[in-house]
Chains A and B, each alone.
Chain A
Amino acid sequence: MTDLTTMSAAELGRLIAAGEVSAVEVTQAHLDRIAAVDSAVHAFLYVDAEGALEQARAVDAARAAGQAPASPLAGVPVAVKDVIVTKGIPTTCASKILEGWRPPYDATIVERMRAAGLVMLGKTNMDEFAMGSSTEYSAFGPTYNPWDLSRIPGGSGGGSAAALAAREAPLAIGTDTGGSIRQPAAVTGTVGAKPTYGGVSRYGLVAFSSSLDQAGPCARTVLDAALLHEVIAGYDERDSTSIPQPVPPVVEAARRGAEGDLSGVRIGLVREFSPEGAEPGVVAALQTSVETLAKLGAEIVEVSCPHFSYALPAYYLIAPSECSSNLARFDGVRYGLRVGETPDSTLEEVMAATRDAGFGPEVKRRIILGTYALSAGYYDQFYGQAQKVRTLITRDFQAAFEQVDVLVSATTPFVAFPLGSRTADPYQMYLADLYTIPANLYGGPAISVPCGLSDGLPVGLQVMAPTMADDRMYRIAAALESTQEPLLSSQVPTLEGKTR
């Protein structure tokens, strides 16, 4: 039999349901793979081998007892970004301030995955509190891109994306505030989808920027991402931003897209995403993909979204402002770290010492920036103005979707960059999210799908759709995918026995 760690989640689910392989065998194969390669990749912050095998045994026992599979993904392993709380399993957000904390409850999406029979392998590395584009801001050391271990795997969800590319897991959960699912997917040759804001419950997602944060599926194929999307999506009364509407038919759309017929579909190219800021290899891969989509029958239309060029500044005012408020909860009282307590110290001193010791540099920068943007005298000029620009960006999207069904762009302006090359100048790091941020500000769904290589490194195509039309992006992404040889079949270097 083919190596179980090279198969898609859909295939694994089918084999387990048919009894051709057990959930325990599938889980053990991935645990073995983690043991063999994670010292080189460092995708995981915590591996729950015992818990995973126990869940796998339960799936096998249910099958032996004649029960129907709980879902098409029953028995399939999944890795979870460490910003999602998991009952009794360490959840750190890659921050020293939460080191060793074991949450007393499961996030809604974790409950849903358990109910669907998915097997949770462990928690993946990320930029601290999901702030970053390279996973270099993890307090527990970076993750390395399986394509080239001297390069970043993207961020903030670099651990989830690298785990997929290194075949340590067939599925993963990410979160996307400004591109943290899509940009890592692009630079690791994997698939990552940010659902419509409100489409997937955030109960148990540690908040960074509440008006933008969204959890979503990461996978190696579009269909796998859609299958996981269907498991985690849907209304949740515990999340007041959860949309009380049916989940868009994403799996059906992925299957339909794979048939490779896009006749009647209108695809928009955003004029303001000018190629000047992007690497030539990225521009070339985008060009080729757009030609392919046209060959499949789609009509390509250029559209104008004049305010997209202000998305990056608007985001870097809104997100830090919300972060400065959300992260106030880390006060050394209710969870995690407390330092600097003496018989004479006050609560305020302990709080300030704890937060200085517990937060890393990017988190501190954003807290200070957000405190500034929200302070009296600057509020209207910065935060207030950013919220108005957000309205204009939303209107740009709405006008564009009057003309076209979806918008496409490169996911990120550049391929995976070398570790350490952008940490000294935070604004250079922020540019990684140039094309992904508009969808967060608007709230619509967007997906990144592999679309070629530039100098041997993966490039991603982004498909953006109207809110609650998540199915559209899956259809287009699956159609493009159907024209390509899977990037990950032969290109990733051997990782076994490798050290950095």
Chain B
Amino acid sequence: MAAISREEVAHLARLARLAVTEEELDTFSVQLDVILQSVARIGEVAATDIPPTSHSVPLTNVLREDQPRPGLQRDAVLAGAPDAEDGRFRVPRILDEEA
């Protein structure tokens, strides 16, 4: 049985904001199925009582004094953006406009 269907891949791509083509969907669903069948082996390990590891550094909540310091130059940052206006990032339409 397939671990993941073409429809599921299409749904996930939508969630991840990837406008994949029909051709990509065909390829990815087959490849992701192979990958998922292989990694599903992880379920064999009895680990119910084992705490999860999210990272390996012996540190939690690193804080520093809240002192003002210079940040990046605004214009230098905006120069790398696809579009800017009045010292801000310009984005495509976010809300449906009323006619």
Q: With both chains docked as a complex, state the minimum distance between the C-beta of B19 and any C-beta of chain A, in angstroms.
A: 4
Q: Flag whether B8 is at the interface (Cβ < 8 A).
A: yes
Which of A314, A345, A356, A388 contacts B18 (CB under 8 A)?
Answer: A356
Task: Provide 25 A-B residue pairs closer than 8 Å at the C-beta atoms, listed in order of the A residue.
Answer: A103-B80, A210-B55, A241-B55, A307-B45, A312-B39, A316-B38, A316-B39, A317-B39, A346-B93, A347-B93, A356-B18, A356-B19, A364-B24, A364-B28, A371-B12, A372-B4, A372-B12, A372-B36, A385-B45, A386-B42, A387-B53, A390-B52, A391-B47, A392-B47, A430-B35
The residues in B between 43 and 92 inclusive whose CB is less than 8 angstroms from any CB of A are 43-45, 47, 50-59, 62, 64, 72-73, 76-77, 79-83, 89, 91-92
**In the complex, A391 Cα to B45 Cα: how many Å?**
12
Chain B residues with Cβ below 8 Å from A351 are 17
Q: With both chains docked as a complex, state the minimum distance between the C-beta of B26 and any C-beta of chain A, in angstroms.
A: 12
Contact (Cβ within 8 A) A104 B18: no
Q: Flag whether B15 is at the interface (Cβ < 8 A).
A: yes
**In the complex, A388 Cα to B72 Cα: how many Å?**
39
Contact (Cβ within 8 A) B53 A104: no
Q: Flag whether A265 is at the interface (Cβ < 8 A).
A: no
Q: Report the contact-size class of chain A (Cβ under 8 Å from the partner).
A: 35 or more
Contact (Cβ within 8 A) B42 A389: yes
| Given A104-B77, A355-B19, A375-B15, 7 new contacts (CB under 8 A) | A313-B39, A336-B82, A350-B92, A369-B36, A371-B16, A390-B53, A391-B53
Map CB proximity to B onto A347-360 as digits: 1 under 8 Å, 0 otherwise: 11111110110010
Which of B42, B79, B96 contacts A310 (CB under 8 A)?
Answer: B42
Q: Flag whether A237 is at the interface (Cβ < 8 A).
A: yes
Contact (Cβ within 8 A) A427 B34: yes
Contact (Cβ within 8 A) B19 A391: no
Q: Flag whether A211 is at the interface (Cβ < 8 A).
A: yes
Q: With both chains docked as a complex, state the minimum distance between the C-beta of A192 and any C-beta of chain B, in angstroms.
A: 20
Interface of A toward B, CB cutoff 8 Å:
101-105, 197-198, 210-211, 237, 240-241, 243, 307, 310, 312-314, 316-317, 324, 328, 331-338, 340-341, 344-353, 355-356, 359, 361, 364-365, 367-369, 371-372, 375, 381-382, 384-392, 394, 425-427, 430, 441-443, 467
Assuming A338-B82, A347-B94, A369-B35, is B73 touching A352 (CB within 8 A)?
Answer: no
Q: Flag whether B2 is at the interface (Cβ < 8 A).
A: no
Q: With both chains docked as a complex, state the minimum distance between the C-beta of B2 and any C-beta of chain A, in angstroms.
A: 13
Contact (Cβ within 8 A) A388 B41: no
Which of B15, B35, B94 contacts A346 (CB under 8 A)?
Answer: B94
**In the complex, A348 Cα to B34 Cα: how many Å?**
30
Contact (Cβ within 8 A) B41 A211: no
Which of A335, A349, A385, A427 contacts B42 (CB under 8 A)?
Answer: A385
Chain A residues with Cβ below 8 Å from B45 are 307, 310, 385, 388-389, 392
**In the complex, A178 Cα to B76 Cα: how many Å?**
34
Contact (Cβ within 8 A) A368 B18: yes
Interface of B toward A, CB cutoff 8 Å:
4, 8-9, 12-21, 24, 27-28, 31-32, 34-36, 38-45, 47, 50-59, 62, 64, 72-73, 76-77, 79-83, 89, 91-94, 96
Contact (Cβ within 8 A) B59 A369: no
Chain A residues with Cβ below 8 Å from B44 are 310
Assuming A313-B42, A331-B17, A392-B45, is B8 touching A387 (CB within 8 A)?
Answer: no
Contact (Cβ within 8 A) B41 A313: yes
Q: With both chains docked as a complex, state the minimum distance between the C-beta of A383 and any C-beta of chain B, in angstroms.
A: 9
**In the complex, A328 Cα to B73 Cα: how many Å?**
24
**In the complex, A351 Cα to B50 Cα: how many Å?**
39
**In the complex, A114 Cα to B46 Cα: how many Å?**
49
Which of A310, A347, A390, A467 contacts B91 (CB under 8 A)?
Answer: A347
Q: With both chains docked as a complex, state the minimum distance between the C-beta of A139 and any C-beta of chain B, in angstroms.
A: 16
- Chain A minimum-CB-distance residue to B75: A104
Assuming A355-B18, A364-B28, is B47 touching A388 (CB within 8 A)?
Answer: yes
Chain B residues with Cβ below 8 Å from A104 are 72-73, 76-77, 79-80
Q: With both chains docked as a complex, state the minimum distance between the C-beta of A367 and any C-beta of chain B, in angstroms.
A: 5
Chain A residues with Cβ below 8 Å from B52 are 384, 387-388, 390-391
Q: With both chains docked as a complex, state the minimum distance between the C-beta of A68 and any C-beta of chain B, in angstroms.
A: 30
Contact (Cβ within 8 A) B81 A317: no
**In the complex, A338 Cα to B92 Cα: how many Å?**
10
- Chain A minimum-CB-distance residue to B94: A347
**In the complex, A200 Cα to B55 Cα: how many Å?**
15
Chain A residues with Cβ below 8 Å from B64 are 237
